[in-house]
Amino acid sequence: ENACERVRFLRWSMSDLAALPGEFDVIFSSVAVHYVQDFPALMRAAADHLTEGGRLIFSQEHPLVSAHCGGERWTKNAQGEKLHLNLANYGIEGERETTWFVDNVKIYHRTFSTIVNTLAEAGFTITGMLEPLPTEALLKKHPEHRDLLHKPDFLLVKSTRA
């Protein structure tokens, strides 16, 4: 659908990234790396398949979200409004079970320092990070998203292979 003679699109399982043939200028992953248990192996494989100066751009569930491992996520007032996020076990990395459109979804929680240090150890330079928050315009249209001001749902990372 987006064919271009100078661009080759591949859809490939991240767990098989090491077997991917060739080198690429860009590797992009949208809201998926938190499903991979061996994050260091994934980042090494990505670096191995990028040209020098190539970019790895990915988004994932925000570590403040993936830290949750049971109990109520929010403290709410009597009207049911979310007052603040209940954060526990942020420093305990590993497998979590969550609900995202379906029950029993397996994800892997990592701290910010693990994400950043793993990228550095794999030979990446972080050139940008974004934690999207709702704008005032969005909140006027959709006030139910005000809870995102307490914590973003996603983390976006742009990095370059050194």
The pTM for the full model equals 0.89
| Neighbouring-strand partners of residue 107 | 96
Rounded CA separation 161/151 (Å): 29
Name which of 61-65, 68-72, 113-117 the model is least confident about.
68-72
Rounded CA separation 90/111 (Å): 7
The pLDDT of residue 115 is above 80 = yes
Predicted confidence at residue 32, as pLDDT, reads 93
* Pairing, β 124-130 against β 82-85: unpaired
DSSP secondary structure letter of residue 124:
E
Nearby residues of 60 by Cβ (< 8 Å), 6 or more positions away: 31, 32, 33, 34, 66, 154, 155, 157
Predicted confidence at residue 64, as pLDDT, reads 94
Provide the token pair at 125: 């330079």
Per-residue pLDDT tens over the stretch 2-43: 778 888 777 888 888 888 888 999 999 999 999 999 999 999
- The helix/strand/coil state of 56 is strand
Rounded CA separation 40/56 (Å): 14
Predicted confidence at residue 20, as pLDDT, reads 85
- Average pLDDT for residues 102-123, to the nearest whole number? 95
Per-residue pLDDT tens over the stretch 66-112: 999 888 999 999 999 899 999 999 999 999 998 777 888 899 999 99
CA distances from 17 to 10, 13, 33, 58, 95 (A): 11, 7, 12, 14, 21
